[in-house]
Amino acid sequence: MENVIKTLEVLNLTEQELPEEIQEKISYLENLVQSHNSLVDELDEKDEVTEDEEKLVEQQSNKIDSLDARISQEIQNFAKLENEKKAKAKHKAETEKKAKEEEAKKAEEEAEAKKKAEEEAANKKPVEKKSGIGLGGFILGAVVLIATAGAVNAFRNK
């Protein structure tokens, strides 16, 4: 029973936190220890102790020690599995948190880029349409004017 108690103290666990199967084994061990202690007390009160009684006490002691060691090992295995589960859960939570943060950051960057594009579009001067006739139109108009003036002059002289 000593190993079980020490293991629970070292792992900072209570008996209630253990699975029901281990709790039952601990309860069985406690009953066995009480039975062993009562047998030892009875034999201490007797004047003569037979060899069979001594063997029985020794067998019970050995059984208690081995059961104590096995239960202690089971508690350690349980604690190890629980720690692994907690570590996996923590890792999963951290991974999900990072993914959400990256997704939020990406969405924020996209929104910011869209906002900048809209601001640039608003700030950009609209392309102005050319007004007026331009150089080509001016030359064409001058040619037509000269041709018309020449034609008028030619018909006047005739």
pLDDT tens digits, 19-64: 899 889 999 999 999 998 998 888 888 878 788 888 888 998 999 9
In 3D space, the residue among 57, 62, 58, 16 whose CA is nearest the CA of residue 40 turns out to be 57
Say yes or no to pLDDT of 87 above 90. Answer: yes
Distance of alpha carbon 96 from its chain centroid, rounded?
A: 5
Domain total of the chain:
1
The predicted pLDDT at position 118 comes to 85
Residue 9 lies in a domain: yes
| pLDDT for the residue 126 | 65
Domain range holding 49? 2-122
Can you give the pLDDT at residue 129?
A: 67
pLDDT(131) > 70: no
Residue 150 lies in a domain: no
Res. 103: pLDDT tops 70: yes
**Is 95 part of a structural domain of the chain?**
yes
- Residue 151 maps to a domain: no
This prediction has a pTM of 0.59
* Sign, CA torsion 116/117/120/122: negative
